[in-house]
Amino acid sequence: MDQLKKNQLMKLLMLVFTIAYVVSPVDICPGPVDDLIMVMLSLAAQRKMKLPV
């Protein structure tokens, strides 16, 4: 698998896991605080992944 497809797959998996965590009834902390932190971390990690040109 080439690098471009790996990056796209990782971004998709991160998005799926973030949505699953936010929607899941099991949380680390009660309330929306941990959900917002998780979304922010996911967005930051996705921005750091660079696609090869």
CB 23 within 8 A of CB 39: no
pLDDT at 47: 74
pLDDT at 50: 54
Write down the pTM of the prediction.
0.58
* Residue 53 clears pLDDT 50, i.e. is over it: no
